[in-house]
Structure 1
């Protein structure tokens, strides 16, 4: 009815397309010139010491943070260009699909179900599922001992379900919103064991406030291939893979492992080959 109004909408839509394209071009910039307001948004965990942690003073620390910072640098972004966004386990695919983040480095295990929704660069770390128990607990010495135990994991994580399906069908699953909540439950005796990747558990066990309270079970219950999540079909995947290869080659990868996970005595696997998923 109103041709002028229709024209205004068309012009606005065209402008939006141009802006979106320009933004994508900035995000996919593979080299230099990443200063100023050329922001990149990266999803990490905020509650995983040694991997992805937002400290009380507003800093971000951990192995995933160091990997993401290195990758962003190779994509042309200074550390000051990075906008860190919390990527909880249950929210990661949604954040990528909506375009809320450019990429996610958040102890994000590559699996077929997730690959239907997002793409992965990497893997950049091979971890193994394990359990954390109280240091004085002698009732859990092998995986099947988890039967009839209260087993905690985080909503959206596959770890607890993996145990119940394959190892201890009578385990009593308890899903909490974050690892820190599981840890409090474990410390208070409400939970018998916390299960997730050994790298994550080592990060927690190494914290000063938990010294001597917990121990790793030492069960290699699965292989967890950590990848960097990107939107389906994103050109960033190949660029991030090149950055990860460079990080391993120049020694920065091992230095980041030693700095963040070494204090817990974590024995890391060698850096995985890009594109090779260990089953």
Structure 2
């Protein structure tokens, strides 16, 4: 168990890579100035029988991808430059390319955690790539390809906080996370002496932590390290990851063809996955293995 947690801690530390590790990507589309350096190419003459999602993409001529844009190193939008970067952004572009769509044919949509299932079910997006943990409850509404990454739940506190050093110190405190997220559900279920506050985005929780409205922010450790690295004078990550979270690509539940296609891409594309990791989260010098796909 200790070896497992150590690995998760290393994964979390890799988020120090922060913004700009991935190739730039304008907010309005998926175009990238670093396309020539991409570890994948756009497929041609793609045929995916039995996928209504792929049929809709083909008819439309574009891909609509749900993402996060406030998570440094994973899914981040630079407001000043309009560029998107991060591991999840590059994974999304890889999937689109495998389906035959170049980066300039991608429309990225920022979807809050609480709205991910409805966005997929309603067809607002074709698929979602944004620190989306696979669990049985979500599988009742949507399908998942992957996992493509594994991390664990952690805690972000004020830099001067000496009382909270791990999840064992949460009794009597107020913890913030995104509405509908796995971490906030875990706190409610397993930490009954802890109060919770929820917002649409983790960045709102971070602001609440800074102004003293809450005592801690919880989500996946990789995300929290990114926030702490942006503002080390005011924020720090404490303890070790205390859950295991498996990130998947969310897509329509009934689209078995698209899920199988994406799982095959992950399974056969180990070198591409590693190249994407090394150019984003892996910029910190850490090395991790691609998780094995859990097809269902």
TM-score (normalised: structure 2): 0.75
> Structure 2: where are the runs of 5+ without partners?
1-50
State the shift of 1:54 in Å: 2.0
The structure whose RCO (Cα within 8 Å, separation 6+) is larger is: 2
Residue 253 and residue 24 in structure 1: after superposition, are their counterparts in 2 closer, same or farther (change >3 A)? closer
> Structure 1: where are the runs of 5+ without partners?
1-20, 30-36
Matched with 2:242 is 221
Which digits, 9 at most, give the CA deviation of each residue in 1:237-257, with x for residues without a partner?
Answer: 11111222244x21x323433
Residue 118 and residue 137 in structure 1: after superposition, are their counterparts in 2 closer, same or farther (change >3 A)? same
Residue 164 and residue 269 in structure 1: after superposition, are their counterparts in 2 closer, same or farther (change >3 A)? farther
Residue 262 and residue 78 in structure 1: after superposition, are their counterparts in 2 closer, same or farther (change >3 A)? same
Which digits, 9 at most, give the CA deviation of each residue in 1:203-252, with x for residues without a partner?
Answer: 22232xx13432222332211110001101212111111222244x21x3
State the shift of 1:262 in Å: 4.3
What does 1:40-189 align with in structure 2 at a 5 Å threshold? 40-56=63-79, 57-166=81-190, 168-189=191-212
CA RMSD of aligned residues (A): 2.4
Which digits, 9 at most, give the CA deviation of each residue in 1:112-157, with x for residues without a partner?
Answer: 0100111100000011011111222111123121111111111111
Whether 1:273 aligns to 2:292 is yes
CA distance in structure 2 between the aligned counterparts of 1:153 and 1:23, rounded to whole angstroms: 31
Tell me the matched-pair count.
Answer: 244
Q: Is the 8 A contact 1:49 1:203 kept in 2?
A: yes
Q: Is the 8 A contact 2:54 2:258 kept in 1?
A: no
State the shift of 1:63 in Å: 0.9
Matched with 1:242 is 264
SS in 2 for 1:202: helix
Whether 1:256 aligns to 2:276 is yes
- The runs of 4+ residues in structure 1 deviating greater than 4 Å are 21-24, 265-269
